[in-house]
Each structure stands twice: as structure tokens, then as C-alpha cells.
Amino acid sequence: MATVIINGQELELDDDERLNGIQAAARLGYDIPHYCWHPGLSVVASCRMCLVETGRRDPESGEISMMPKLVPGCQTPATDGTVFVTESDKVKQARAQVEEGLLINHPIDCPICDKAGECRLQDYYFEHGQGSRRADLRPFTSRRRSLGDTVTLFVDRCVMCSRCVRFTREITGTGELYVEGRGAGEEIDVFPGFPLANKMAGNVVDLCPVGALGDKDFLYSQRVWFMKSHDGVCAGCSTGCSITIDENQDRVYRLRPRENPHINEWWMCDEGRYGYHHVHSEHRLAGPQQFDAEARQYVNADWSRLPTELDKKFTAIAKRWPGSVAGVLSPHLSVEEAYLLAKYLRGVDPEATLVLGPVPVEGEDESFPQGFTIRAEKCPNRRGVEAVLEYFTGRVATFDDLLPDVAAGKLHAIWVSGGYRNDWIDEATAESFDAADLLVVQDLFDSPLMQRAHYQLPAAAFAERDGSYVNVADRLQSFRWAIRPPMGVRTEGSLLWQMSAMPGMYRAGEVLAEIAREIGYFSAAVEEIPAVGVDLKVNLLV
């Protein structure tokens, strides 16, 4: 046990904790300002914003001796007997001087800067800056250049913290960014012909403590203070990065990584980051349709009558041809939705066939030097749906297993859940479903299968649903909706909740609690799920 003294208060640290001054002070609520230090990157101690006074307490006499000079909090380890003073006049003066220095050549163009509102330079100026400008006035300059397809550099706003440079060297290992020039003439740049083009490039924008690096996807689309942030989980691949969804009035503007030491640390890939555009695609299905056999055309269906109507038809078919009901559980469904669907179908037909929907795989897993992995499996919840299937059917049957029975006309009522972003089924495969008497398809976009559905149900996108995903490493994360689904769309969860004759609004938490009680694999999810999720493996005997 180590004792650190911060501004006169004692802080106990476990023996295996390796904290620096910034981290230790944060434990006691002291926010030491910093630009260049980031927990995920190497320490360079160059911005000098985190300067503090330090000293040692003699273990024998208890006497404290302070160092005469200031030290960077980021570089100074908090060990037994270390003393930190973070709020003295000397420290405050040093902070003010650094802040003043950084602002000498800064354009101070906050009104047109995307970072305004979440900018450290701005925030620290108010908190730690000088009252007035003492340096000479400079004409406003705003030079910018493109570093790659996704990132723009606003050269004059840069404070040379070098976080972005270190990121491309240490995390992605691609090293596109470097520092050009010397002294006050330094600039971040890329070599000609070698743009910032790695698959995690967007992270440099989050890392930038000021407005120097702008995300072309987000640039000028929204002032940050208009947006609300919601904890979410990326549905782009089976890594399942923890993310923050920034939205305004039911429109997603930006996804950012949310720190999760168990999954993505501080990062996310660009595919996930920009993988929200389909949510607002104009091609999304809106409003349920049902096929009018007499008129031979689709007519609008009524969400309020659908649950009863569908229930009636499924029950009738199950009675007439027991064992002829089938459900396709998409790996895009949440655990709760998959459970509700499986439970419902097995309720009307105890012999119902349940299979896992097609699992989209693109290329191969791609790992970066620091360990971050982009998975080839482009769906968030294969593991969760598999566990549900195993519980209900004792095995995991795939979509391909289902097709012969479909073609043979053995299955009379089929419910297909989708949620796919791309074409996932071809014309020939879809044709075999013509044999079914009742085909219900709930999906985001039109597809050959959708064209054959008796009921076309629009599905919800990841940012619109409540529920939980289980990632490739068996970590379950729960999330709530960030935006409401567009007009005419009901989430799978709320539809299935109603079909299961549950009272009131869809409550994913109640369903998960039931799952945790019923299914051994999910037993660790019985208590409230923390923001970083729970490891379902803890209760597995493996």
C-alpha cells in the first residue's frame, strides 16, 4: 500500500497501481490540466501544462522536502511518500504562462471552429489563463490542408501536443504523421503521396485537444453544444466497441469511442465511426406493408393491429402443420430481441425451427500493433444470438441449414429478422421462400426476400434500439436508444414484446433479467450492467 499526499490530503494506492501525478490527483478530484498526455500514448511531457510542485515525505521522520523546480505531473510517478501540490500560486502561474504561450500564435477563431465547446485550449483559458493579452496582436490566419480522405488540419490552431503523431506511430504503426519544421514554425504534416489513410485515422480527431484536426464527416455539421451524447455500442463488427453517439433531434452526427479498457480502450475504427450513415438513408423502409393477395399488391398495414394479426396467423399455421414454423434470428438483433422472438415462436409451435441469420463476413480480422482488432465479422451479436439458439434448440443451426426445408415446402410460416446494411440474400435463394404460406420479413432495406414477404416490416437501426450485444470475446454490453426510429418504424423489441403479450412498453432490462435467470451463459448479466459491460465467461466452466 502506497500513500501519496496531494494538496495535503492522503491518497492510498494499491501496490500494483502505477499512476502518474495527473491520475493520482484526479482520484481526489483535482483536475490537472494537460494537452500532450494521454493514457493510451507514450509520455512526452512537452506541453508543460501539467506542471506541479512535488516532493517526498521522509518515511522515518514524516518530514516533507519539496523540489525547488516544477515537474510535469504526467511524468512524475505517484509512489509511496510522493507529495504533489497542484493548486499553489507557483503552479497557477506556470499554467497561465503555458496557456499564454499557446495563444500567442493561435488564431482564436472559436466562432468558426468545430472544436469550440469541447476544446481544451478554450476551457483552460477560462480556468487557468491570463486575464488579458500581453503578446503582440497578430493578423488572423487560417491555413488548412487535407491530411487524408477523412481529416483536415487547421494548421494555425495546433498546439503541437504531438498526440496525433504518436497515435499513428504507436497505435496503428502506420506513422503517416510527422512534425515538420522547428521551433515556433513547427507544423504537423504528412509526406507527399502518403496521406493519413489507416483504418483508425479518425481517432486523431478525438485525440486532438484543440481544433487543429477536423473530421471531414462531421465538419461544420453541428455545434457540439446542440448535441446530446448517449452511451452506445458500435454494431459495425463483432469487436463491439463502446461508443458515444452524439445526436440532435433524432439525427446522429458523430460516433466517438468511449473508453473501455476491456474492449477498445480509447479507440474505434473508421468503419465503425462512419458506419452510421445508413441510419439516415433515404432507402430505409418506412411503414409496414402487407400483401393483398386479391389485389396482388402491397397495402399499408397498421402497426397497432399487426401483433394480433400476426399472432393469429402463426397460431393457425402451427395448429394445422405442427413443426412448420421457422424463425431466422439475425446476428444484428439484440440478445433480448432474439430471445423474445425465439420464445414467441416456440410458444406457438414447440417444434419451431430456429436458425441463426446469415453472418456477414468481409475479409479477415485486422489487428494493429497495440492490439486493437477490426473483425471480419460485420455484425455485433452473433455470440448472443447463438447462446439464445442453443438454449432453445440445443444447437446452433445456420441459415443454410434451413434452406432445403424451405425449398421443400416443409415450412409454412417463416419469420425472418434482418437489420443488414448490405444486400444479404440473392434472388435465387429468396425464390425458394415462395413456397411458404406466411413470410414475415423485418429488415432495414429492401431485398429480394422482402419482395416476397407477406408482411414487410421496417426494422430499427442500432442507434434506435434498447438491448444488449455480446461481442466476440463474450462481453455483454447493454445500451439504450440514442434516437427515435423514423416515422413508421417500430423496433423489433417493442413489436415482439407486444406479440409476447407483455404489459406496457418494451423494457429490455426485464427481458435481460429473465434471460440471465433462464440461460446459464447469461448468468453474469443478472445484476445491473456497468458501462463497460460484463464478461459472461466469468460464470462459465471453461
Partner 1 sequence: MAEFEPVLLANISNEDSHTLAAYEAAGGYRALKRILADKSPAEVVELVQSSNLRGRGGAGFPTGLKWSFLPKDHPGPIYMCVNADESEPATFNNRILMEEDPHQLIEGTILACYATRASTAYIYLRYEYPHALARLQQAIDECYDKGYLGKNILAHDFSLDIYLHRGAAAYICGEETGLIESLEGKRAWPRIKPPFPAVKGLFQKPTVVNNVETLCCVTHICDRGADWFKSIGVPADPDNPRDAGSYGPKLYCISGHVNRPGCYEAPLGLTVRELIENQGGGVWKDRQCKAAVPGGISMGLLSADELDCPLDFSGPGKYDCLGLGTAAVTVVDETVSIVDFLHNTTRFMAHESCGQCTPCREGTSWALSMLNRIKAGKGRLQDLDLLLEIGDSIGIMPGTTICGLADGAAWPMKNAIRKFRGEFEEYIRRTNPDGCETTEPVEALQIIGVH
Segment interacting with partner 1, rule: CB under 8 A, options 71-79, 200-208, 328-336, 534-542: 71-79
Q: Does 496 participate in binding partner 1 (rule CB under 8 A)? A: no
Does the protein bind partner 1 through residue 46 (CB under 8 A)?
yes
Cell of 237: 463488427
Closest to 209 measured CA to CA, from 50, 24, 85, 26: 50
Total number of residues binding partner 1 (CB under 8 A)?
A: 38
Q: How many residues in the chain?
A: 542
Does residue 7 bind partner 1 (CB under 8 A)? Answer: no
Please give the Cα distance from 132 to 379 (Å, whole number).
Answer: 53
Is position 91 an interface residue for partner 1 (rule: CB under 8 A)? no
Element containing residue 187 per DSSP (H, E): strand 187-190
Q: Does residue 183 interact with partner 1 by CB under 8 A?
A: yes
The span from the CA of 196 to the CA of 409, in Å, is 53
Return the DSSP state at 171: I
- Identify the residue among 40, 55, 81, 101 touching partner 1 (CB under 8 A): 101
**CA dihedral of 215, 217, 220, 221, whole degrees rounded to 10:** -140
CA dihedral 238, 244, 245, 249 (to 10 degrees): 160
Q: Is 179 in the site for partner 1 (CB under 8 A)?
A: yes
Stretch that binds partner 1, among 9-17, 128-136, 196-204, 425-433 (CB under 8 A): 128-136
DSSP annotation of 168: I
Q: Residue 376, interface with partner 1 (CB under 8 A)?
A: no
Question: Minimum distance between the CB of residue 159 and partner 1, rounded to whole angstroms?
Answer: 7
Which range of residues in 97-105, 288-296, 464-472, 529-537 is near partner 1 by CB under 8 A? 97-105
Task: Identify the residue among 137, 293, 299, 428 touching partner 1 (CB under 8 A).
Answer: 137
By CB atoms closer than 10 A (0-12, 13-18, 19+), residue 28 is middle
Contact of 328 with 357, CB cutoff 8 Å: yes
Span interacting with partner 1, options 180-188, 238-246, 338-346, 349-357, rule CB under 8 A: 180-188
Stretch that binds partner 1, among 68-76, 278-286, 458-466, 493-501 (CB under 8 A): 68-76
CA gap 521, 523 in Å, rounded: 6
Give yes or no for residue 66 binding partner 1 (CB under 8 A): no
d(CA 129, CA 122) in angstroms, rounded, equals: 9
Contacting partner 1 (CB under 8 A), which of 24, 51, 212, 279?
Answer: 51
Binder to partner 1 among 3, 79, 88, 97 (CB under 8 A)?
A: 97
Q: How far apart are CA 190 and CA 186, in angstroms?
A: 13
State CA 395 to chain mean position distance: 30
527 touches partner 1 (CB under 8 A)? no
Q: Is 62 in the site for partner 1 (CB under 8 A)?
A: no
Rule CB under 8 A: say whether 186 interacts with partner 1: yes
- What string marks each residue from 138 to 177 as x (binds partner 1 by CB under 8 A) or -? xx-------------------xx-----------------
C-alpha 355/C-alpha 457 separation (Å) is: 19
Task: Give 97 or 539: the residue with its C-beta nearer to partner 1.
Answer: 97
Largest Cα–Cα distance in the chain? 96
> What is the distance, to the nearest Å, from the Cα of residue 357 to the centroid of all Cα atoms in its chain?
23
Least distance (Å) from partner 1 to the CB of residue 385?
47
From the list 99-107, 245-253, 295-303, 344-352, the region that binds partner 1 by CB under 8 A is 99-107
Among 11, 26, 44, 316, binds partner 1 (CB under 8 A): 44
DSSP class of residue 260 equals: B
| Stretch of residues binding partner 1 (CB under 8 A), selected from 43-51, 389-397, 421-429, 458-466 | 43-51
Site for partner 1 in 275-334 (CB under 8 A): none
Q: What is the DSSP string of 426-450?
A: -HHHHHGGGG-SEEEEEESS--TTG
Q: Which 8-state DSSP code applies to residue 16?
A: T
538 near partner 1, judged by CB under 8 A: no
Q: Which of 6, 41, 49, 457 touches partner 1 (CB under 8 A)?
A: 49
Q: What is the C-alpha separation between 7 and 271, in angstroms, rounded?
A: 45
Q: Does 89 bind partner 1 (CB under 8 A)?
A: no
**Binding region for partner 1 (CB under 8 A):** 43-49, 51, 67, 69-72, 75, 94, 97-98, 101-102, 104-105, 133-139, 159-160, 178-179, 181-186
